[in-house]
Amino acid sequence: MSFFKKLKEKFSTNEQETDVSEKYKEGMAKTRGSFSSKINDLVARYRKVDEDFFEDLEEILISSDVGVATVMELIDELKMEVKRQNIKDSQKVKEVISEKLVEIYYGDDDEAVEELNVQEDQLSVILFVGVNGVGKTTTIGKMAHKLKEEGKKVILAAGDTFRAGAIEQLEVWGERVGVEVIKHNAGSDPAAVIYDGVQAAKSRKADVLLCDTAGRLQNKVNLMNELSKVKRVIEREIPEAPHEVLLVLDATTGQNAMSQAKTFSEATDVSGIVLTKLDGTAKGGIVLAIRNELNIPVKFVGLGEKVTDLQQFDAHAFVYGLFADMLEAE
């Protein structure tokens, strides 16, 4: 069975899968509009697959923020696959491209989607890090809603005590999704807020504590010291925690998001990435660059403004979102 047929079958077999594919299709309209039209134009220009074809494809992938190192690797693999399958027709290369994009992300086509590390038998602590303006507080609010819908008791800790309005913004989200927010006054020690959050979550028998942190990035030393202090406080109370350190990045900033990811992964043990505003960019290839070049999984993506638009990342659904028009035309 061809890869495109497998994708179509996967996302039409049950209601839940269809719902996921529709969210990706809708949320990735900008990226698809740019990427698919360029790929279609390329295929229309070239009857046969030659060196010029691959050079133009390389340019398209780089302009989609897939990342230079990842693009070079992908082009080499595509050339080998085209040779192996003896593909002459440029139309057939589209399917090979889609398959290779999934492989870059998973390494193995059948690998499972990365789940959020939520403990079953004790309080789970999830730390959110990232610079100001990437949608960190909004992501925490949406995550709280998602976990609450799954039957979890959630508490938020307003550890971003330095950004004007950050505490109030988290409180608004707390009210909106119906979860308690632990806070101190603006300018307070973030580690003290997180400590109180842990104590409150324990005493109220919460399942998950979501912790906001400051997003200042003047220099790595300050960032490292602050995050280390917060982590020490958490570890002292719950030795295995934090169970996740999620780095929130804005997909619309492209390669700038890559440099933020590098800085934060040097400063703290980032276990996963939440890529916000994927619906607002034509350069969704950044997902693949992050995974391939930093080896950090993208665990969630933001596909819209609604509270339900924070989606677990699935590379198959991502590729479906990229190629939906082509798939439906088949």
CA distance 68 to 237: 43
281 is in an annotated binding site: no
180-182 and 154-157 beta bridge pairing? parallel
212 is in an annotated binding site: yes
C-alpha torsion angle, residues 239, 244, 247, 248 (rounded to 10):
-130
70 is in an annotated binding site: no
SS3 content of the chain, % helix, strand, coil (to 5): 55, 10, 30
214 is in an annotated binding site: yes
7 is in an annotated binding site: no
197 is in an annotated binding site: no
DSSP lists the bridge partners of residue 312 as 300
DSSP characters for 175-215?
Answer: HHHT-EEE---TT--HHHHHHHHHHHHHHTT-SEEEE----
136 is in an annotated binding site: yes
Tokens at 308, concatenated: 């339900």
Q: Which residue has the tokens 């039957």?
A: 151
187 is in an annotated binding site: no
215 is in an annotated binding site: yes
292 is in an annotated binding site: no
213 is in an annotated binding site: yes
Q: Using CB atoms within 10 A of its CB, is residue 26 exposed (0-12), middle (13-18) or buried (19+)?
A: middle
216 is in an annotated binding site: yes
282 is in an annotated binding site: no
User: CA-CA distances (angstroms) from residue 79 to 12, 41, 49, 293?
Assistant: 31, 20, 9, 21
Could you list the residues known to form a binding site, using ranges. 130-137, 212-216, 276-279
Could you list the residues known to form a binding site for GTP, using ranges. 130-137, 212-216, 276-279
